[in-house]
Structure 1
Amino acid sequence: MRRIKCPELNLPPPQRNVALAVPLPLPPSSSSSSAPASSATKSLSELERVNRIGSGAGGTVYKVIHRPTSRLFALKVIYGTHDDSVRRQISREIEILRSVDHPNLVKCHDMFDLSGEVHVLLEFMDKGSLEGAHVSQEDELAHLSRQILSGLAYLHGRKIVHRDIKPSNLLVNSAKNVKIADFGVSRILAQTMDPCKSSVGTVAYMSPERINTDLNEGGYDGCAGDIWSLGVSVLEFYLGRFPFAVSKESEWASLACAISISSPPEAPATASEEFRHFISCCLQSDPPKRWSAQQLLQHPFVLKSTGGPNLPQMLPPHRRLPSSSPPAS
Structure 2
Amino acid sequence: MPSFSLLAFAFLTLHFIFDHMALVRERRQSKLGLRLPEISDRRTRFPPTAPQQLKNTTNASTTSVADYETVQVLGHGNGGTVYKVVHKKTSNVFALKVVHANSDPVMRRQIFREMEILRRTDSPFVVKCHDIFEKPGGDIAILMEYMDVGTLDSLSKNTDGGIFTEHTLANVARQILNGLNYLHTHKIIHRDIKPANLLVNKNMDVKIADFGVSKIMYRTLEACNSYVGTCAYMSPERFDPDSYGANYNGYSGDIWSLGLTMLELYMGHFPLLPAGQKPDWAALMCAICFGEAPSLPEGVSEEFRSFIECCLQKDSGKRWTASQLLSHPFCRQPEN
Same fold (TM over 0.5): yes
Are the equivalent residues in 2 in contact too, given 1:161–1:186 (CA < 8 A)?
Answer: yes
CA separation of 1:306 and 1:241: change in aligned 2, threshold 3 A: same
* Equivalent in 84, 90, 97 of residue 69 of structure 1: 90
Q: CA deviation at 1:280?
A: 0.3
Are the equivalent residues in 1 in contact too, given 2:132–2:141 (CA < 8 A)?
Answer: yes
2:313 aligned with 1:284, yes or no?
Answer: yes
Partner of 2:75: 54
Partner of 1:216: 244
Aligned partner of residue 263 in structure 2, secondary structure = helix
Are the equivalent residues in 2 in contact too, given 1:248–1:255 (CA < 8 A)?
Answer: no
Partner of 1:137: 165
Q: CA deviation at 1:221?
A: 2.8
Are the equivalent residues in 2 in contact too, given 1:62–1:75 (CA < 8 A)?
Answer: yes
Are the equivalent residues in 2 in contact too, given 1:204–1:248 (CA < 8 A)?
Answer: no
Q: CA deviation at 1:269?
A: 2.6
Q: For residues 1-329 of structure 1, what are the structure 2 equivalents within 5 Å?
A: 8=20, 10-11=24-25, 12-15=28-31, 42-57=63-78, 59-81=80-102, 94-114=115-135, 115-131=137-153, 133=156, 134=161, 135-191=163-219, 194-217=222-245, 220-246=248-274, 249-307=278-336
Distance 2:302 2:144 in 1: 39
CA separation of 1:39 and 1:290: change in aligned 2, threshold 3 A: farther
Aligned partner of residue 151 in structure 2, secondary structure = coil
- Match of 2:201, as an amino acid? N
Percent identity, please: 49
Aligned partner of residue 111 in structure 1, secondary structure = strand
CA separation of 1:254 and 1:112: change in aligned 2, threshold 3 A: same
Aligned partner of residue 60 in structure 1, secondary structure = strand
- Match of 1:301, as an amino acid? F
Q: CA deviation at 1:197?
A: 4.1
Distance 1:98 1:306 in 2: 31
- Match of 2:139, as an amino acid? E
Distance 2:101 2:79 in 1: 9
- Match of 1:283, as an amino acid? L
- Match of 1:81, as an amino acid? N
Partner of 1:31: none
Are the equivalent residues in 1 in contact too, given 2:247–2:316 (CA < 8 A)?
Answer: no
The TM-score normalised by the length of structure 1 is 0.77
Distance 1:66 1:234 in 2: 35
- Match of 2:70, as an amino acid? R
Distance 1:240 1:40 in 2: 46
Partner of 2:4: none
Partner of 2:47: none
| Greater shift in the superposed pair: 115-124 or 245-254 | 245-254
Q: CA deviation at 1:58?
A: 6.1
CA separation of 1:128 and 1:204: change in aligned 2, threshold 3 A: same
Aligned partner of residue 174 in structure 1, secondary structure = coil
Aligned partner of residue 13 in structure 1, secondary structure = helix
CA separation of 1:37 and 1:137: change in aligned 2, threshold 3 A: same
Aligned partner of residue 147 in structure 1, secondary structure = helix
Question: Pairwise CA RMSD of aligned residues?
Answer: 3.2
Q: CA deviation at 1:278?
A: 0.3
Q: Which has the larger radius of gyration?
A: 2
CA separation of 1:271 and 1:109: change in aligned 2, threshold 3 A: same
Describe the superposition over 1:134-171 as per-residue Cα deviations: whole angstroms up to 9, x where unpaired.
Answer: 24421111111101111111111101111111001111
Q: Which has the higher contact order (CA 8 A, sep 6+)?
A: 1
Distance 1:72 1:306 in 2: 28
Are the equivalent residues in 1 in contact too, given 2:175–2:207 (CA < 8 A)?
Answer: yes
Aligned partner of residue 185 in structure 1, secondary structure = coil
CA separation of 1:80 and 1:213: change in aligned 2, threshold 3 A: farther
CA separation of 1:136 and 1:174: change in aligned 2, threshold 3 A: closer
CA separation of 1:88 and 1:205: change in aligned 2, threshold 3 A: closer
